[in-house]
Amino acid sequence: MSLHDQDDPALREAQEARLRKVWEPPKGLFLRWTDTNNNRVGVWYVLTAFGFMLFAGVLALIMRMQLAVPDNDFVDAGTFNQLFTLHGSVMMFLFAVPMFEAVSIILLPQLLGARDLPFPRLSAFGYWSFLIGGVFVSGSIFFDAAPDGGWFMYPPLTTRTDLSGLGADIWMLGLSFIEVSSVAAAVELIVGVLKCRPPGMRLNLMPLYAWYILVVAVMILFAFPPLIAGDVLFEMERLLDWPFFDASRGGDPLLWQHLFWIFGHPEVYIVFLPSIALFAMLVPTFARRHLLGYPWIVLAAVGTAFLSFGLWVHHMFATGLPKISLAFFSAASEAVAIPTAVQIFVFIVTLWAGRVVWSTPLLYATGSLAIFVIGGLTGVMVAVAPFDWQAHDTYFVVAHLHYVLIGGTLMPLFAGLYYYWPLITGKKLSDRLGRTAFWLIFLGANLCFFPMHLSGLEGMPRRVFTYPEELGLGGLNLASTIGSFVIAAGVAVIVLDLCRSPWRRKAPRNPWAAGTLEWLAHPDDEDWGIRSIPLIESRYPIWDQEDFVRKVDEGRYFLPDAEEGRRETIVTSVLDARPVSVIRLGGPSWLPMLTAVALGGVFILTTYHFYWAALVSGMLTLALVLTWLWTGTAEIPEKPRKPIGHGIELPLYISGDAAPGWWAMFITMMADATAFSGLVFGYYFFWTRHEDFPPMAMADGPGVWWPMVALVVGLASWLATAGAREVHARGKIALARVLVLLGIAASLAGIYAGLAGPWLSGMDPQMHSYPAIVWTLAIWTTAHCGVAAIMLAYVLARSLAGKMTPAHDADIRNVTVYMHFLALTVAVTYLTIGLFPELA
């Protein structure tokens, strides 16, 4: 029967009878600590990120008090350095990126008409990792142990332990742990957008918010891993004295700048694009029409992301790079303004063509665009290398950065807060308080940061804790300080508004009369989400599809019941959103929290050089991860198929590239391969920077023999796994187990062979950057061989336990994806370190 022919009373009665059974979550304290429902996890994520923002704001106020007048002694130089390092680090790593991930965890399931994202336990793990790492890094300032090298932590001042204390390790290892949570969230969001859309929601019908989040999550996969690679090199220099950034031993501090800014400049757009995504949702609502230029804004978002990876040297114009490089990166820095302008003009034109209903969210949106445009104009100025040479390391750059971040991140988030608060809590915030807060923040931001353009052009250097009266900059700095406290007053009004929210009466459903799917949510909704998963035929189905809300509420679309008492949603195809299967979502569990605590122990204990305790914590992490996988993934269902309504039956188990788990492994390995490419970049960077790389005394390196042996056994492990997957699918289980055993043996042999070359050749990684980078590549690759052996042993155990069969083979298919990337890693590493010295 057609979905449009649903007014048969008998059909309606049958559907209403099926609605009597729903998924019921557990209650009480257990749920509070172990919950994996993305809506509640997202709320805690948002509140925690907002708390870190307030903390960083207090640090900024203390800095502005110090700079209010010349020759001030409110805080000393060391404390000031800790303040500005933590302020920048917290705002970028603990507020801007986690906040967008938190908001997306809440909104995406509802925007996609899904019961939840595909891996709710992964979202919970990401939250706990973020919380533990954030408290560890932020709390260091209360013990006078905060990092003090700036949020960019440039070597060699930060890598030399005699010049920097424990704060550098706290920054590096704590934020590396937080980066794990960011990558975990990116995996969840990408798979959610690609595989959990409702039937009919083709890519060209996706809400623009989903497009933006997909683009930004992909950016995270390529931006964060180079920083992780830099973190590895940074900590190996600090902990083991391997000279990656020590110029006297063949290192180069510029390698850190390259790896950091390959992350750092895309990071600006990673926090900007999700905020623009909020505009893409609220502008059509208050313009009372569809957003104009949908294809153009999608292309502009993709173009912004693409160009953002081509202008990291924008931050390195003063480092003496070749002039042709400066010209290329200057042009790229200016070109990125084009797709950004396209997005802004689309919003303006939509408002121009619509019937605008002014509201508090729209007030924040338009005000933030005004501030952002000023930041964009100064960004074009510093993109010109000669001007950048004059403004570099002055307060002009501070002003530009804060105009971009306040206009492109902070105020859009406040717009989204006022827009989506009724969706999250069922209650609206105060228009009066919201408008008061807006004008305080808008005026305060301009009073605080516009004078910094002038003070910077007059020679005020950044990162100084005081300045002499003779500079004549006291008035401009005092104005900036007053402006900072006006901003703080505006934020305080918002906090007051949030605190009063629980005592307000509930708002009506969809109070803004929006047209997108998230507003199907009802203030009294229970934990199972929407009543039925709809068929989508429009970008604004609430506006365009007849009786859409009523049909969803009455369960007249797909999967309206929970016959087995499980929380479920539909998996669809990537391009055209055809129903593929039903996926069962993980319920409340201690495992995400315990795994995050154990993994956090690895980073925190390593910071204090408790290496044996860190090793124990690492083994505990491995045990918890294996338990998580064993009990929570690739479950064999009690029946092969399940009816979802309207005569359609879908399988309860799928594997391969149609399954969310396969996509999660592929995406995770893309991030892993990007981090690895950062290490390989380091090898060839040293080669381009030094005429004698490898040095003549070390030209033999690890030799050819052992790297080639390691290459052969690594590829043998890959081939054995791929063969096991194929014969297992044909029902030859015994042969598949033998091949898995061979894969384990080859992976273990790869560990020995990979380390034998640099070990037997006597390469001392403390002498020079060449043996250090060779050892690093070898350790990275052999560690992956060790992970491969563990994965294959897990697959063998699943097979022997009867939890993996030819019809239920997701485990071996997912591990094979890992092995494909391992083969690539093995080939690049051993061809580089084994043959490159010979070719050189």
3-state secondary structure of 472: coil
pLDDT band at 19 (very low <50, low <70, confident <90, very high): very low
Q: How many CB atoms lie within 10 A of CB 622?
A: 15
- The CA angle 32-36-39, to the nearest 5 degrees, is 90
* Omega within 30 of 0 (cis) for the link into 156: yes
pLDDT tops 90 at residue 4: no
CA 104 to CA 123: how far, in whole Å?
A: 11
CA 172 to CA 87: how far, in whole Å?
A: 15
Question: Residue 33 in contact with residue 573, Cβ under 8 Å?
Answer: no
pLDDT tops 70 at residue 328: yes
| φ/ψ of residue 771, rounded to 5 | -60, -30
pLDDT tops 70 at residue 6: no
Question: Residue 283 in contact with residue 291, Cβ under 8 Å?
Answer: yes
CA 484 to CA 445: how far, in whole Å?
A: 7
Average pLDDT over residues 30-39: 63
pLDDT tops 70 at residue 354: yes
Q: Provide the percentage of residues in the chain whose pLDDT is more than 90.
A: 71
Output the six-digit token pair for 400: 């530009």
Buried b (16+ CB within 10 A) or exposed e, 704-717: bebbbbbbbbbbbb
Buried b (16+ CB within 10 A) or exposed e, 442-471: bebbbbbbbbbbbbbeeebebeebbbeeee
pLDDT band at 154 (very low <50, low <70, confident <90, very high): very high
Cα 412 to Cα 298, 438, 515: the distances in Å are 19, 11, 20
Question: Residue 660 in contact with residue 571, Cβ under 8 Å?
Answer: yes
Q: Classify residue 508 by burial, with Cβ atoms within 10 Å: 0-12, 13-18, 19+.
A: exposed
pLDDT in tens, 727-764: 999 999 999 999 999 999 999 999 999 999 999 988 99
Q: What is the pLDDT of residue 621?
A: 96
pLDDT band at 55 (very low <50, low <70, confident <90, very high): very high
CA 584 to CA 208: how far, in whole Å?
A: 27
Buried b (16+ CB within 10 A) or exposed e, 812-824: bbbbbbbbebbbe
CA 5 to CA 518: how far, in whole Å?
A: 25
Q: What is the pLDDT of residue 14?
A: 52
Average pLDDT over residues 670-689: 94
Beta bridge partners of 583: 569
pLDDT in tens, 482-519: 999 999 999 999 999 999 988 888 888 899 999 999 99
Average pLDDT, the chain: 90
Can you give the C-alpha Rg of the chain in angstroms?
28
Question: Residue 290 in contact with residue 284, Cβ under 8 Å?
Answer: yes
Question: Residue 296 in contact with residue 304, Cβ under 8 Å?
Answer: no
Tokens 């040297």, residue located: 313
| φ/ψ of residue 549, rounded to 5 | -65, -45
Amino acid at 100: F
pLDDT in tens, 395-432: 999 999 999 999 999 999 999 999 999 988 889 999 99
Map 432-490 to HEC letters: HHHHHHHHHHHHHHHHHHHHHHHHHHCCCECCCCCCCHHHCCHHHHHHHHHHHHHHHHH
CA 143 to CA 136: how far, in whole Å?
A: 11
Tokens 């000031």, residue located: 80
Output the six-digit token pair for 240: 């083991």
Q: What is the pLDDT of residue 780?
A: 97
Q: What is the pTM of this model?
A: 0.93
Lowest mean pLDDT among 18-22, 350-354, 485-489, 608-612: 18-22
| CB contact set of 32 (below 8 Å; sequence gap of 6+) | none
State the helix-helix crossing angle for 97-111 and 411-425, rounded to 10 degrees.
40
pLDDT band at 24 (very low <50, low <70, confident <90, very high): low
pLDDT in tens, 444-489: 999 999 999 999 999 999 999 999 999 999 999 999 999 999 999 9
CA dihedral sign, ordered 451, 452, 456, 460: positive
Which one, of 657, 815, 824, 805, lies nearest residue 723 by Cα? Answer: 815
Q: Provide the percentage of residues in the chain whose pLDDT is more than 70.
A: 94
Output the six-digit token pair for 308: 């953002």
pLDDT tops 60 at residue 109: yes
pLDDT in tens, 274-292: 988 999 999 999 999 999 9
Distance in angstroms between the alpha carbons of the first and the last residue of the chain? 70
- The CA angle 148-152-154, to the nearest 5 degrees, is 80
Q: What is the pLDDT of residue 524?
A: 65
DSSP state of 69: S
CA 509 to CA 518: how far, in whole Å?
A: 11
Q: What is the pLDDT of residue 33?
A: 60
pLDDT in tens, 199-247: 999 999 999 999 999 999 999 999 999 999 999 999 999 999 999 999 9
pLDDT band at 257 (very low <50, low <70, confident <90, very high): very high
pLDDT in tens, 782-824: 999 999 999 999 999 999 999 999 999 999 999 999 999 999 9
CA 74 to CA 465: how far, in whole Å?
A: 10
Average pLDDT over residues 122-149: 92
